[in-house]
Amino acid sequence: GEHEYSIRSKITLSPHYAFSKRDFGPIYILFEIPMFNLSKLRIKYLRIIENYKTSNTHRWVRYITQSSSYVYRLN
């Protein structure tokens, strides 16, 4: 089924400066969620073509969701 996730955050500016929303501009959000795949794309089979004799291979896939273009504009 469909899932919905949300995050709530609070940004506190220094009280020494009087910023208006216009002075502050957009907020760029950078985040990383390990072992979560937003696109639901899964790797079922992986074949290593070259044989590396000096290193051991492990059957493990790391899924990660990274922010790329999330921008919040203040009104």
Rounded CA separation 32/66 (Å): 5
Write down the pTM of the prediction: 0.44
- Under 8 Å between Cβ of 29 and 68: no
Q: Is the pLDDT at 29 greater than 70, yes or no?
A: yes
CA 45 vs CA 38, 40, 48: distances in Å: 20, 15, 10
Q: How far is CA 26 from the centre of its chain?
A: 18
User: Over the stretch 38-68, which tens digit does the pLDDT of each residue have?
Assistant: 778 888 888 777 776 677 777 788 888 887 7
pLDDT attached to residue 14: 72
